[in-house]
Amino acid sequence: MSRTDIARRSGLSKPTVSLALQRLVEAGLARQTGKASGGKGPSAKLYELNPGSGWVVGIDVGRRWMRAAVADITGGIVVRRDERARARSSRALVAQTGEIAHRVAADAGIDWSAVTAATVGSPGVLVPSSGQLHRAHNLPGWGSHGVVAAINEQLGTVVSFENDVNLAALGERSKGLGRDVADFVLLWVGTGVGLGIVVGGELYRGAGGAAGEIAYLPIGDGDPRDRANRRRGQLEEAASASGIVAHAKLLGVRPPFTPTAIFAAARRGDPAARKVVVAEARRLALAIAVVAPVLDPQLVVLGGGIARNNADLLLEPLRRELHTLSPFAPRLAVSELGEDAVLEGAVATALATAQDRLFSRHEDLDRLRARHPDTTTLATVSPARLIAAPDFGPGTPYPDAHV
């Protein structure tokens, strides 16, 4: 991107842009990549973010899999690792979280001290007042006291924690179907059930961070006041992987009792398995019918292993049922990111933190120089405003909201 392009997009004068670019290059945050060709007059110098000026790590902690990725400051993923999760205890998961993070950094050829920020995604909601992860029922001991502190100790950098479904929604916002949609929701159906909510292009967490915990909607069989339903939520008890298996057993579907086998039986025409699929579609349609008039989303993205892998069976009956239930008709689509949605969201979240830190650090240096003007000339504009300009750098991941 040339100096003229940046001036036009940011609304700043060319001299101001030139001085700010000089500061960014001197700080190692940007670099010259070449010169433009083909136009009249002298060739313009082209600039981009320096990919190696910062590194981030995203980690997805799930019941079955743990995934981690390293990305440079432009958002480009350099290395990733996928491992079976050691979900037998919180201690094992915490140890694995630290191990996979350090391994993936080593795979990328960087020292862990070079990592500017890391984001850990998992089931549950972090409650700042207690420092504990609540409602993480699918990971043994994950809500225990000291888990968050132990992960912080393992990683030893700027670590943020976020609900996995929220991160999946941010992944869709960054790299998936939500790129050009301001208001959408991600309906996640797998080991658990949840909703990621994006309003006006921003993730909506609610007053206590629990917005989107639709597992607790009173949808499903039995009494919603029953303690068994209240622990995980009635919708999750009915519509998650374990709920599908329980319903299949009740209807006499033949083993093996796994969601994959049950949906495969439905594809072969097994009448009992088909009833399980229809019931699942109806429950999900009812959940969307509850959410649609409250949030009025333009798009509902279906994610999670159950919804994504079986969309060929679920999507049409879900649409039909939703049409009969509600006058609201958001567009339904299946996630294109698949199993990578949470990891993409974790990387995007860590990236926003890292960019804020890097550019704030540079601005702190400018404020110090301003108090001692004899050392250097103070530019009149924050470098972060330039980075916020569209198309600056290979990945352009730095949105105006973070400036």
Strand pairing report for 299-303 and 331-334: parallel
pLDDT surpassing 90 at residue 2:
no
> What integer best gives the mean pLDDT of the chain?
85
Q: What pTM was estimated for this model as a whole?
A: 0.83
On whether the CB atoms of residues 67 and 347 are closer than 8 A, the answer is no
Give the separation between CA 179 and CA 301, rounded to whole angstroms: 12
pLDDT at position 54: 84
pLDDT at position 384: 44
Please identify, in words, the CATH class of the domain defined by 177-336. Answer: alpha beta
Higher pLDDT, 60 or 137: 60
Listed by start position, the domains of the chain span 3-49+372-402, 53-168+341-350, 177-336
Give the separation between CA 6 and CA 269, rounded to whole angstroms: 59
User: What is the token pair recorded at 119?
Assistant: 């984001």
User: What is the token pair recorded at 362?
Assistant: 């540079």
On whether the CB atoms of residues 198 and 173 are closer than 8 A, the answer is yes
CATH fold match for the domains 53-168+341-350 and 177-336: yes
CATH superfamily of 53-168+341-350: ATPase, nucleotide binding domain (3.30.420.40)
pLDDT surpassing 70 at residue 366:
no
pLDDT at position 20: 74
User: What is the token pair recorded at 306?
Assistant: 């159950």
Q: 126: pLDDT confidence band, cut at 50, 70 and 90?
A: confident
Q: 266: pLDDT confidence band, cut at 50, 70 and 90?
A: very high
Exposed, middle or buried: residue 158 (CB in 10 Å: 0-12, 13-18, 19+)? middle
Omega before residue 218 within 30° of 0, cis: no
Q: Picking from 45-54, 59-68, 172-181, 237-246, which range would have the lowest pLDDT averaged per residue?
A: 45-54
For the stretch 315-344, pLDDT in tens is 999 999 999 999 998 999 999 999 999 999
